[in-house]
């Protein structure tokens, strides 16, 4: 009788371990990011927080939605044919973003590319000087 209890206990432990391994593998696949590319209109640029927001058309239902994501230092940023900084992107520009989308909704940019063609509503982020210009000073 004791031998059967030990055998059943061992089988139970192996079964639980197998379920944990399968469950963890499924969880890792579910949390793994997917690589996506979207093109939209830049609606917000925050160089200090290293974030941007793009207004894009949802591929399935055609509705407009805003996607906000992190822009790490390693992100490649281009305006036309030249390298650029995040602060050089203008709200209103058409931007193609390639990045990682996580199942929890986070988005992280790997590459941002602006054609350099700016719509009439494009504007520099608040408080940001144009490239090569000094920041505005406040008179006291």
Mean residue pLDDT across the chain: 79
83-119 pLDDT, tens digit each: 999 999 999 999 999 999 999 989 999 999 998 765 5
**How many Å apart are CA 30 and CA 112, to the nearest integer?**
26
Residues with Cβ within 8 Å of residue 40, at least 6 apart in sequence: 54, 55, 56, 57, 67, 94, 95, 97
pTM of the model: 0.64
**How many Å apart are CA 82 and CA 67, to the nearest integer?**
25
């Amino acid at each position: 009788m004791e031998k059967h209890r030990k055998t059943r206990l061992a089988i139970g432990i192996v079964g639980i371990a197998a379920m944990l391994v399968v469950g963890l593998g499924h969880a890792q696949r579910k949390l793994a990011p997917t690589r996506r590319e979207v093109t939209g209109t830049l609606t917000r640029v925050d160089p200090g927080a290293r974030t941007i927001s793009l207004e894009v058309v949802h591929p399935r239902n055609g509705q407009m939605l805003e996607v906000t994501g992190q822009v790490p230092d390693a992100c490649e940023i281009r305006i036309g044919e030249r390298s650029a900084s995040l602060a050089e992107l203008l709200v209103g520009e058409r931007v193609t973003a390639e990045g990682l989308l996580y199942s929890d909704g986070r988005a992280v940019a790997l590459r941002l590319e602006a054609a350099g063609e700016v719509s009439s509503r494009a504007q520099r982020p608040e408080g940001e000087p144009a490239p090569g210009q000094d920041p505005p000073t406040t008179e006291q």
